[in-house]
């Protein structure tokens, strides 16, 4: 075999791929030629004699990957590592600064799980395996589940484990705060949608009422009794009788509402109230409110006065 053939010999290695076209075989930086792996993880690569590599297939973690490489042990919190070397007692404002991202961490690990990671040539930490607990982890987990503020009463807690406890506690508080805020926003949005829907409904009712009211006013010019009966029915009142008023163009209307009899004077064509027959005076200003209502709306005003206990009837029937 010639030297050229020897240099061209291909070797296969299982290495972690974190995206892009660069991988590392110890200190050796390689460039992937051709197709890239479909997803992040451990993959088998074919290495040539130069600094090129080709993806072969997805593979399982190389159990010998840690040999001859720098290893870091500590507590894994999500995809962050709190190394055993953490020596500073907890500063809640700087917890994140004392963690480091770990790539390809195994899913489903317990809280306060210990792990071993390897530092790649580009300084990234690659998860390799879970480590055995040191002793107090179960007690710390129970304290976290019980929502305790401190684990100072648990013996053997290292600064790294203390950091893990504080960080998980802070993360839970933040997640719950976000969930509460999201729930509040959802409630406010639901209320806003309900208000908008109610406004649309009222607008539709108003438009419909306006159409019917216009029809009743046209009808009133031909058949006042039928128009008055329809107008009073809008609020649940019953027409009893009607007659011409002494003033031209006005009608006296008698009706029953909530088992009581009432009398009012309205415009013969528009059905607008001229004399409500009940007190509609604003005592603060002395202003009469009779002409603000129509035969359709007057019973509703009487109903409100009844419920508030302030109904005063002027025209007795």
Task: Give residue 8's pLDDT.
Answer: 46
DSSP 176-196: HHHHHHHHHHHHHHHHHHHHH
Q: How far is CA 64 from CA 15, 42, 68, 118, in A?
A: 11, 13, 9, 11
Task: Give residue 197's pLDDT.
Answer: 82
What confidence tier does 46 reach under pLDDT thresholds 50, 70, 90?
very high
Give residue-wise pLDDT tens across range 201-239.
655 654 565 566 666 666 667 888 888 888 898 888 999
Task: Give residue 120's pLDDT.
Answer: 93
What confidence tier does 283 reach under pLDDT thresholds 50, 70, 90?
low
Rounded CA-CA distance 56/12 in Å is 9
Task: Give residue 3's pLDDT.
Answer: 42
Over range 49-63, report the average pLDDT: 90
Residue, of 289 and 12, whose pLDDT is higher: 12
The position carrying tokens 């908008």 is 196
Task: Give residue 5's pLDDT.
Answer: 44
- Could you tell me if 53 and 30 are in contact, meaning their C-beta atoms sit under 8 angstroms apart? yes
When mean pLDDT is compared across 45-49, 122-126, 209-213, 302-306, the lowest value belongs to 209-213
User: Taking all residues of the chain, what is their mean pLDDT, rounded to a whole number?
Assistant: 85
For the cut 50, the answer to whether the pLDDT of residue 265 exceeds it is yes
Over range 70-86, report the average pLDDT: 90
Residue, of 42 and 219, whose pLDDT is higher: 42
For the cut 70, the answer to whether the pLDDT of residue 6 exceeds it is no
Task: Give residue 107's pLDDT.
Answer: 87
- Could you tell me if 47 and 9 are in contact, meaning their C-beta atoms sit under 8 angstroms apart? no
For the cut 60, the answer to whether the pLDDT of residue 317 exceeds it is yes
- Could you tell me if 70 and 50 are in contact, meaning their C-beta atoms sit under 8 angstroms apart? no
For the cut 60, the answer to whether the pLDDT of residue 189 exceeds it is yes
- State the CB neighbour count (10 A cutoff) for residue 215: 12
Task: Give residue 4's pLDDT.
Answer: 46
Over range 303-310, report the average pLDDT: 86
DSSP 211-277: HHHHHHHHHHHH-HHHHHHHHHHTTT-EEEEEEE-SSTTEEEEEEEETTEEEEEEEETTT-BEEE-S
Over range 140-151, report the average pLDDT: 92
Task: Give residue 2's pLDDT.
Answer: 45
């Amino acid at each position: 075999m010639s030297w050229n053939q020897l240099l061209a010999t291909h070797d296969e290695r299982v290495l972690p791929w974190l995206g892009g076209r660069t991988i590392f075989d110890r200190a050796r930086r390689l460039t992937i030629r051709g197709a890239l792996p479909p997803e992040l993880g451990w993959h088998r690569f074919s290495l040539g004699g130069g600094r090129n590599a080709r993806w072969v297939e997805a593979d399982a973690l190389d159990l010998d990957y840690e040999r001859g490489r720098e290893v870091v042990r500590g507590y894994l919190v999500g995809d962050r590592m709190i190394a055993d070397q953490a020596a500073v007692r907890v500063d809640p404002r700087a917890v994140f600064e004392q963690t480091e991202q770990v790539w390809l961490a195994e899913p489903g690990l317990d809280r306060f799980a210990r792990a071993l990671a390897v530092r790649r040539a580009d300084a990234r930490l690659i998860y390799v395996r879970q480590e055995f607990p040191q002793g107090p982890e179960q007690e710390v987990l129970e304290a976290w589940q019980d929502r305790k503020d401190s684990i100072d009463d648990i013996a053997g807690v290292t600064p790294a484990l203390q950091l893990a406890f504080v960080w998980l506690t802070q993360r839970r508080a933040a997640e719950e705060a976000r969930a509460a805020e999201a729930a509040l926003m959802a409630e406010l949005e639901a209320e806003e949608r309900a208000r908008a829907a109610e406004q649309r409904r009222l607008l539709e009712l108003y438009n419909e009422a306006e159409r019917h009211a216009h029809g009743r006013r046209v009808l009133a010019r031909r058949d006042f009794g039928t128009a008055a009966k329809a107008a009073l029915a809008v609020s649940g009142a019953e027409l009893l009788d009607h007659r011409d008023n002494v003033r031209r163009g006005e009608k006296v209307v008698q009706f029953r509402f909530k088992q009581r009899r009432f009398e009012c004077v309205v415009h013969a064509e528009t059905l607008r109230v001229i004399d409500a027959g009940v007190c509609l005076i604003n005592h603060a200003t002395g202003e009469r409110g009779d002409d603000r209502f129509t035969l359709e709306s007057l019973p509703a005003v009487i109903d409100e006065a009844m419920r508030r206990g302030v109904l005063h009837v002027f025209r007795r029937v």
